[in-house]
Amino acid sequence: MEFPVSAFLFLVLPLLLLLSTHATCSPMHGNETDRAALLDFKLSCSDPHGSFASWNMSSHFCLWKGVSCSRKHPQRVTQLDLTGQGLSGYITPSLGNLTYLRALHLSNNSFSGEIPTSFGHLHRLEVISLSNNSLQGWIPAELSNCSNLQTLSLYSNHLEGRIPDNIGSLSKLVILTLSGNNLTGPIPRSIGNMTSINILSLSENYLQGSIPQELVLLFEVSYLALGDNLFSGRVPQMLFNQSSLVDLGLETNHLDKAVLPSDFGSHLPNLQHLGLDSNNFEGPIPASLANASKILDLGLSRNYFSGTVPSALGCLHDLTFLNLESNSLEASDRKSWEFIDSLANCSKLQVIALAMNNLGGDVPSSIGNLTSELQILYLGTNRLSGMFPPGITNLQSLIGLSLENNQYIGAIPQWVGKLGNLQALYLEGNSFTGPIPLSIGNLSQLTYLYLQDNMIEGALPPTLGKMKNLLRLNITNNRLQGSVPAEIFSLPSLISFCLQKLARLNN
């Protein structure tokens, strides 16, 4: 029997159409899933700069701004980068459907809300960068499922709660930055499993407990920032032997009193930045610090260090910043001031802060041999005596000079007017006598001039009216007399002028 062609087509054509539809829709499924996820995210955002202008049906989503697709999987999103686009709103859970995503960059926006737990579905993800937003809530424990993650950057948000205990399962993580949040609780001990970590930043949170011993297992870590938290207990001593460290920040915690080991620095050949400020370290500053010869910044302020400043610090030839303020360091004779001589070897030094210690006697004239690059010299609130240190005249790059609350006598020298870059001059609380030098008016960059609580005499010089950038002038409690020059009241920037307890001055 002959089978009619029309009947054959009637039976077979629907089947062919079904197969054809299945064949075309299967690869398009991923396509449409990704498109839908992106459009859902767009709907949740406020876009003041038009970053989503290309996100419409007139073009393939792989061509949309910030979207990248894989060559191997051309229909699938592998990167979403909308860094710094001024976006606000929230990050939708639908982004968890971008299962081929390898990098998510949404930093430097104003996103709020929580980090979606659906990100735990993104097993290919290598980079999550959500820093500098206003994200809230906890860090999802589900992120531990992102086993290929290499960078997790969440700093400068409003995240709270504990760091997930299982975060150590991210064994490929190289960069973890959680600083500048409201995180609490301890550092999970599982963090010792992240043996590939290079940058670990947990500073500026409310983390508590002791610094875990497991950190010494992170043999690749170069940047370790734990400052501005509530850590207590002792620092694991082996941490000071971590030869990979370039930057170690433990400042502003509640660490127990401890003496730095006598060989401190001997095992830190790569260290460039050391911040131990605002803790309870005591005892001498180890001379062995000189072995960490690459140090640029050395912050030991607001501790209980005692003894003399080691002259060996002069071996740190790359040193730019030295802050030893608020300790119990001493100097009383020429030998104990030898560290000033040695610091002349530090040709890149820009900041020396020695205020609020027990330094006494005359500052040696060799202070004038310090590098001409020096910008900040803070010697206030010590027991310094004698005349205004003459060597300072050589430090022509100074922008800040602090000699307040010492025992200086004699006149403020005329040459102070040669320090033409000065922006702040603190001389209060001494026993300076004589007049205010006329040359002080040459300090055209000066914004702060504090001369109160001295025995300065004579009239206020009209040259003060030349300091057009002056914001604050305090001459309280001196022996000045005469009239206040009209030029002072014409200073365009002056916001504070204190002249109490000047009985012989005509206001």
Least confident of 47-56, 69-78, 373-382, 408-417: 69-78
Contacts of 27-34 spanning 24+ positions with Cβ under 8 A: 27/75, 28/75, 30/73, 30/75, 30/76, 30/100, 31/75, 31/76, 33/97, 34/61, 34/75, 34/76, 34/77, 34/97, 34/98, 34/100
Q: Read off the pTM.
A: 0.89
pLDDT bin (cut points 50, 70, 90) of residue 30 is: very low
pLDDT bin (cut points 50, 70, 90) of residue 14 is: very low
Residue 380 burial by Cβ neighbours in a 10 Å radius (0-12, 13-18, 19+): buried
- In degrees and rounded to multiples of 5, residue 501 shows phi and psi of 60, 45
Q: What is residue 413's predicted lDDT score, i.e. its pLDDT?
A: 95
pLDDT digit string, tens, across residues 227-257: 999 999 999 999 999 999 999 999 999 999 9
Return the DSSP state at 40.
Answer: H
pLDDT bin (cut points 50, 70, 90) of residue 2 is: very low
Residue 356 token pair: 């609020």
Q: What is residue 71's predicted lDDT score, i.e. its pLDDT?
A: 85
Q: What is residue 1's predicted lDDT score, i.e. its pLDDT?
A: 40
As a three-state string, the secondary structure of 52-101 is CCCCCCCCCHHHCCCEEECCCCCCCEEEEECCCCCCEEECCHHHHHCCCC
pLDDT digit string, tens, across residues 98-116: 999 999 999 999 999 999 9
pLDDT digit string, tens, across residues 358-378: 999 999 999 999 999 999 999
Least confident of 17-21, 27-31, 69-73, 122-126: 17-21
Kindly state the average pLDDT of the residues 310-316: 97
Sign, CA dihedral 312-314-319-325, equals: positive
pLDDT bin (cut points 50, 70, 90) of residue 21 is: very low
pLDDT over 90, % of the chain: 90
pLDDT bin (cut points 50, 70, 90) of residue 70 is: confident
Q: Which residue has the higher pLDDT, 110 or 4?
A: 110
Q: What is residue 15's predicted lDDT score, i.e. its pLDDT?
A: 42
pLDDT at 18 over 70: no
Q: What is residue 499's predicted lDDT score, i.e. its pLDDT?
A: 86
Residue 234 burial by Cβ neighbours in a 10 Å radius (0-12, 13-18, 19+): exposed
Kindly state the average pLDDT of the residues 121-144: 98
Q: What is residue 24's predicted lDDT score, i.e. its pLDDT?
A: 34
Kindly state the average pLDDT of the residues 154-160: 99
**Side chain identity at 466, as an amino acid letter?**
K
Kindly state the average pLDDT of the residues 316-333: 98
pLDDT digit string, tens, across residues 448-471: 999 999 999 999 999 999 999 999
pLDDT over 70, % of the chain: 93
Cα 13 from Cα 8, distance rounded (Å): 8
Q: What is residue 503's predicted lDDT score, i.e. its pLDDT?
A: 59
User: For the chain, what is the total number of helices (H) and then of strands (E)?
Assistant: 2, 37
pLDDT digit string, tens, across residues 399-457: 999 999 999 999 999 999 999 999 999 999 999 999 999 999 999 999 999 999 999 99
Q: What is residue 74's predicted lDDT score, i.e. its pLDDT?
A: 80
Kindly state the average pLDDT of the residues 187-204: 98
Residue 85 token pair: 């686009």
Least confident of 14-28, 273-287, 389-403: 14-28
For the chain, the average pLDDT equals: 93
**CA angle (293, 294, 300) in 5-degree steps:** 85
Structure-token match 């001997």, residue found: 266
